[in-house]
Amino acid sequence: MRFDTPQCNYQEQKITGSFKDELFGNLPVELFRTKRGYYVFDAHNVRMVTVDQVSYDILQILRERDAGVDEIVRLLDHHPAQQVREAFEELKAVQDESFLLRGSFSRTPRFADTDTRMKQRLTEEMAGLTISITGKCNLGCSYCVYGGKYDAQRKLSGTSMSWETLKNAMIFLADHSRRSKSIQVDFFGGEPLLEYRLIERAVVFLKSRIGTRQRKVDITVASNGTILNDQLLEFLVKHKVYLQFSIDGNREQHDRHRTFKANGRGSFEKIMKNLEKIYTFDPEYYHSYIRIKAVQTLDQDDSNDEFWQHPLIKPVVKNGHVSILQLRPNFDIEKDGDYFDKLQRLGERSLDLRNVETLEDIQKVLTQKEWMFFHSTIFRFFDVQAVYNLYMRDKADVPFTKGCLYGYKEGNVEPSGKITICHLATNWIIGDVNEGRWYFDKIRKYDQRIHRWSSCSGCFVQRFCDLCPEKIDGAEVSYTKSRSRFCQFQRKNYRTVFSYALGLCEANPGFWNEVDRLIEVGYRREETKTREAA
Report pLDDT for 136.
Answer: 95
| Residue 114: band (very low, low, confident or very high) from pLDDT cuts 50, 70, 90 | low
Give SS3 for 355: coil
Alpha carbon dihedral 92, 487, 294, 249, in 10-degree steps, equals 90
Query: What's the pTM?
Result: 0.86
C-alpha gyration radius of the chain = 26
Q: For 64-79, write each residue's pLDDT tens digit.
A: 887 889 999 999 999 9
Report pLDDT for 45.
Answer: 84
Helix (H) or strand (E) holding 433: none
Report pLDDT for 336.
Answer: 93
Residues 401, 388: Cα–Cα separation, whole Å: 10
Helix (H) or strand (E) holding 460: none
Return the closest-CA partner of residue 184 out of 228, 221, 213: 221
Q: For 243-273, write each residue's pLDDT tens digit.
A: 999 999 999 999 999 999 999 999 999 999 9
Q: What are the DSSP calls for 115-145, one per residue?
A: HHHHHHHHHH---EEEEE-BS--SB--TT-T
Q: For 195-242, write each residue's pLDDT tens digit.
A: 999 999 999 999 999 986 778 999 999 999 999 999 999 999 999 999
Q: Would you list the domain boundaries of the chain?
A: 3-104, 331-401+480-534
Number of Cβ within 10 Å of residue 519's Cβ equals 21
